């Protein structure tokens, strides 16, 4: 995974797949050398995954009736 992930790439993934991908990217981040290109890509991918997961959680929360919040 040496290329940045796009929102379109991640839109096709289920939440479980996103969490698994997050774990994989995090491991790559930890193993990469500080300041390397791979580390920069991993950081960007983690931010993109986090954004998608937060957006999905916000939409799911907004769909709940007010009495269940």
Domain that includes residue 45, residue range: 7-63
Q: Is residue 2 part of a domain?
A: no
Residue 67 DSSP label: G
Rounded distance between C-alpha atoms, residue 45 and residue 31, angstroms? 15
Q: Is residue 1 part of a domain?
A: no
Rg (CA), the chain: 14
Q: Quote the number of domains for the chain.
A: 1
Residue in this structure with the two tokens 């050398």, named with its chain if needed: 33
Q: What is the pLDDT along the chain (69 residues), one digit of tens a residue?
A: 678 988 888 888 988 999 999 999 999 999 999 989 999 999 999 999 999 999 888 877 666 555 544
Q: Is residue 69 part of a domain?
A: no
Task: Say if residues 23 and 3 touch (Cβ distance below 8 Å).
Answer: no
Residue in this structure with the two tokens 């491991």, named with its chain if needed: 27
């Amino acid at each position: 995974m040496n290329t940045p992930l796009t929102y379109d790439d991640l839109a096709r993934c289920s939440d479980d797949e996103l969490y698994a991908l997050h774990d994989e990217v995090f491991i790559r981040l930890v193993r990469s050398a500080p300041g390397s290109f791979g580390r920069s890509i991993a950081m960007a991918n983690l931010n993109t995954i986090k954004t998608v997961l937060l957006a999905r959680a916000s939409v799911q929360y907004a769909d709940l009736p007010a009495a269940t919040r």
